[in-house]
Amino acid sequence: MNFGKKDVLKDVSFSIIKGEIFTFIGPSGSGKTTLLRLIDMLERPTSGKILIDGTNVTKLRDRAKIQVRRKMSMVFQKPSPLRGSVYANIAIGLQFRNVNADEISRRVSESLELVGLEGYEERKAITLSGGEMQRVAIARAITTKPDVLLLDEPTANLDPVATEKIEGMIGDLKKRFGITIILSTHDMVQGQRLADRIAVVIDGRIGQIGTSKQIFYQPMNRAVAHMVGVADILDGVVTENEAGLAAIDVNGVRIAAGSGVSPGTPVTIYMRPEDITFYEKDSIRSSARNKFTGRIIEVVPMGPMVRLKVDAGVKLTAVITQRSFEELGLALGKETELTFKASAIHVVERTDTD
């Protein structure tokens, strides 16, 4: 898919299951919005096809196109209130479909109730706050009882309180109506919270699709790993493997990991920084297989957490709570002991293209 000279999406191929919450996560400009727009048929792909419920919608025009589009609804990043009252805004989709006035009135009240804005009918839409307007936009979208609901970064412009309300609403919609929900967000954690399955979109390509566990703990390549906060990425070679427990040599350091990969294979190992635990020197009692001594070479406070870089023969990034940091008496330059489980490591065979 390209706009003029720029290729916005390349080699994209995937399917979405009916009734699931499917999330595209990725940085701004990665192509997530374009994907949603293509699904909603606001744009036509320059090549390839899109099947909705088995119908190839890519070549549809006029009446047929609108028929399919009317089974979907989209909520945009910026709510765009139309002139007039909240009622007028929500009713408009039904008015396009020539639904009678009584039915419209009933459904609008229903939708307002669903989004927690009862009694807002007569308010002028442009006087609402961002969070309220976004809820009206959602009410507007669901009033037409779509099979598919698309949301493009729905909470990107909202404060945390409003965001939480809307996330709750999204989960609710799935439970109550079984709508297929397709969401895009650049907030990793939101993707993790809401989605049944996630697709990581980087630079117009899909890096990986999977459940949040798979994406966040078993990234397939560096690009995806960086995106989801897997900060420890190391290249090494498998030296031994016994019954699924592999020993991997990384720069002379021996790391134990759960993996079936055979000895001699070059691999990349991935680990989340939260999986590293620290101990006071000479006091380790854990059963973890990976025990190292290292020197703290960087300390970055992050609110209630602290991010550390430790040199233990290999450079590792770890995240621990501020409290732990203080209780262990850790500091820049100090030597400390750290461990992580073999099961915390995700091993991927290294190919030259990684």
Partner 1 sequence: MNEIVEGIRQAIQLIVSLNPEVLDITARSLYISLSATLVASLIAIPIGGFIHFKQFGGKRGLITIIQALYALPTVLVGLLVWLLLSRSGPFGFLQLLFTPTGMIIGQTVLIVPLMIGMTLIALSGVSQTKQDTVISLGATQLQTVITIVKEARFAILGGVILGFGRAISEVGAAMIIGGNIKGYTRVLTTAIALETSIGDLPLAIALGIILLLIALIVTALLFLVQER
157: burial class by Cβ within 10 Å (0-12, 13-18, 19+)? middle
| Smallest distance, partner 1 to C-beta of residue 124, A | 12
DSSP letter at 306 equals E
Please, which residues have CB within 8 angstroms of residue 267's CB and are 6 or more apart in sequence? 235, 236, 237, 238, 248, 259, 261, 347, 348, 349, 350
Task: Note whether 3 binds partner 1 by CB under 8 A.
Answer: no
Q: Which of 46, 96, 145, 349 binds partner 1 (CB under 8 A)?
A: 96
Q: Please report whether residue 76 would count as binding partner 1 according to CB under 8 A.
A: yes
72 binds partner 1 (CB under 8 A): yes
Q: How far is the CB of 96 from partner 1 (least distance, A)?
A: 5
CA–CA dist 308, 324 (Å, integer): 12
Structure tokens at 278: 């620290």
Cβ-contact 296, 333 below 8 angstroms: yes
- CA 206 to chain centroid: 12
CB closer to partner 1, 31 vs 219: 31
Among 5, 6, 49, 83, binds partner 1 (CB under 8 A): 83
Q: Any contact of residue 33 with partner 1 (CB under 8 A)?
A: no
| Contact between 93 and partner 1 per CB under 8 A | yes
H or E element in which residue 175 lies: helix 160-177
AA letter at 83: R
Residue 145 interacting with partner 1 (CB under 8 A): no
Q: 92 or 156: whose CB is closer to partner 1?
A: 92
Residue 323 Cβ vs partner 1, minimum distance, rounded to whole Å: 45
Residue 138 binds to partner 1 (criterion: CB under 8 A): no
Q: Which ranges of 218-313 does DSSP label H, i.e. alpha helix?
A: 222-227
Which position among 12, 16, 74, 234 is part of the footprint of partner 1 (CB under 8 A)?
74
Q: Return residues touching partner 1 (CB under 8 A).
A: 37, 40, 42, 66, 69-70, 72-74, 76-78, 80, 82-83, 92-93, 96-97, 137, 140-141, 144
